[in-house]
Amino acid sequence: MTTARQIMHVGVETISAQTSLAEAARRMRDRNVGALPVCDSDGNPVGMVTDRDIIIECIATGQDPRHATTGMLAGRKLIAVSGDTDVGDVLATMQTHRIRRLPVIDGNELVGIISEADLSRGLREQQVGEFVEAVCAP
C-alpha cells in the first residue's frame, strides 16, 4: 500500500494568517508555487491560499491585496490527510474537493504536501490521467 507520506514532498513553506495577500503573491512568485498553507499564530495549518484565490476572491472583487489577509481567504475548513492515508483515499479526497494540492498533517503539524507533480511521480499514468480529468473537468 502506497501512503501519502511516500508521495508527499516535505519542506513546505507556510504563511501566517495575518500576512497580506500581496505578500503571499510575492512569495508564490519567488518560490514558483501556486499555493501556500496558511497557519495560525500557533503554527497549526488552518487553510490554503492559492494564486487563483487571490485573483478571484480579492482582486476581481475590488479588494486591495495589500490590506486583505491570507486568513480572510483561508478561513474555510482545512482539507488535509494524515501521512498514513492510502494513496487511493488521497486521490478520492482531491477529486471530491476538486483540489490540486493537499496538505499532509500529523496531529496539528504540517509534515508535507501532495501536488499534481507528486502524483505524477508516484502513481501510474492512468491514475494521474483520471485524477486530472476529474479535477479539471468543468
Compare 42 and 67 and report the one with higher pLDDT.
Answer: 67
Mean pLDDT, the chain, integer? 88
Give residue 88's pLDDT band: very low, low, confident or very high (50, 70, 90): confident
> Are the C-beta atoms of 46 and 74 separated by less than 8 Å?
yes
The larger pLDDT score, comparing residue 119 to residue 134, is at: 119
Average pLDDT over residues 89-99: 89
Domains contained in the chain, CATH given:
4-136 (3.10.580.10)
Give the integer Cα–Cα distance in Å for 113 and 102: 6
For residue 64, CA distances in Å to 18, 24, 54, 117 come to 15, 13, 10, 32
pTM of the full structure: 0.84
**Are the beta carbons of 81 and 93 closer than 8 angstroms?**
yes
Residue 58 has pLDDT above 70, yes or no: yes
Indicate whether 138 pLDDT > 70.
Answer: no
Smallest CA-to-CA distance from 79 within 55, 95, 68 is with 95
Taking the C-alpha atoms of residue 16 and residue 41, their distance in angstroms, rounded to an integer, is 7
